[in-house]
Amino acid sequence: MRTPLIAGNWKMHMTVNEAVELAGAVARLSSDARDREVMIAPPYTALFEVARALEGSNVLLSSQNVCWEEKGAFTGEISPVMLKDIGCSMAIIGHSERRHVFGEDNKMVNKRILGAQKFGMVPVFCIGETLDEREAGHTFKVLESQVREGLVGVEISDPATIVVAYEPVWAIGTGKTATVVQAQEVHAFVRELLAGMYQKNVASEIRILYGGSVNPENVDALMSEEDVDGALVGGAALKPELFDRIIHFQ
Ligand code: PEP
């Protein structure tokens, strides 16, 4: 049984006060969520206060990235130990903005995943093709290298220790969503790939989220697909009334 996960990526939005207010709203909206999990990823500056605002709620807290080292000369980075210390249990890794705006490649994504797992954080491992790659017919090839290279040396014996998020780059923040057929096709492909890399009963339980302009209008159809186990939501996660409807997908 894969418990659906609805995850909000707040990107570089929200001052501390705004974040605490939004987190409080998400905690209230999620209080009746029994058969699904809810996660939010505020910016680093707000994590500490948001962790306090989420105490007693069932909302999980994630960072938007994480370093692979515990401490040291890594200016501008945040370690998994520091994140866990303030109550952060998950880390988004390999988001398309990290890959395409900040030049993070599969190798760096792999280091981050290994680092997160080493210190007991759950990586939300993002993969996705660009529009050019899709139009050139390279979608599956690109995704396969992202998965294989991103997971080098990553042991998964418990499916709860990793989440994969398929986010077609052309669908992030553009208002364009993959069709349910496109999403299901990729999710099934990724699951098959994982089944070849890990024990089958483990791969079949790893959650694969879809991300890319998820909104109240398309969430039900996406979530009705066999291999879509949740959503990674950007823009709509900043608006409580939209995120509410997404959390309560039917
Ligand atoms: C994201 O930030 O991961 C994302 C999918 O953004 P949006 O929902 O705005 O497309």
Q: Which pair of tokens denotes residue 71?
A: 């401490």
- At 125, give phi and psi (nearest 5°): -85, 110
Angle between helices 240-247 and 16-29 (to 10 degrees): 30
- Residue having the nearest C-alpha atom to atom 3 of ligand 1: 234
Tell me how far the alpha carbon of residue 72 lies from the centroid of ligand 1, in angstroms: 32
Cβ contacts of residue 236 below 8 Å, gap of 6+? Answer: 214, 215, 216, 242, 243, 246
The answer to whether the CB of 173 is under 6 A from ligand 1 is yes
CATH 3.20.20.70 fits 5-247, yes or no: yes
What pLDDT, in 10s, does the model give residues 82-108? 999 999 999 999 999 999 999 999 999
- Give the percent of the chain with pLDDT over 70: 100
User: What token pair was written down for 235?
Assistant: 């823009």
Amino acid 42 reads P
- Catalytic-residue membership of 138: no
Q: What is the rounded distance in angstroms from the CA atom of residue 177 to the CA atom of residue 217?
A: 11
Domain boundaries, the chain: 5-247
User: Tokens standing for 119?
Assistant: 């210190």
Distance between CA atoms of 193 and 200, rounded to whole angstroms? 10
**Ligand 1 binding pocket includes 120 (Cβ within 6 Å):** no
Using CA positions, which residue lies closest to atom 2 of ligand 1? Answer: 234
Whole-prediction pTM: 0.97
Overall average pLDDT of the 8-37 stretch: 97
Q: Is 233 in the pocket of ligand 1 (CB under 6 A)?
A: yes
CA 199 – ligand 1 centroid, Å: 31
Angle, in degrees to the nearest 10, between helices 139-150 and 106-118: 40
Asked whether 230 lines ligand 1 (CB < 6 A), one says: no
At 30-42, the pLDDT tens digits run 999 989 999 999 9
Residue range 103-124, pLDDT digits in tens = 999 999 999 999 999 999 999 9
Residue 159 in tokens: 């499916």
Average pLDDT, the chain: 97
> Averaged over 221-240, what is the pLDDT?
98
Q: Do 176 and 221 contact (CB within 8 A), yes or no?
A: no
pLDDT digits (tens, 9 = 90+) for 156-206: 999 999 999 999 999 988 888 889 999 999 999 999 999 999 999 999 999
Label residue 248 by pLDDT band (50, 70, 90): very high
Q: Is 248 a catalytic residue?
A: no
pLDDT score at 29: 96
Which residue do the tokens 């792999």 mark?
110
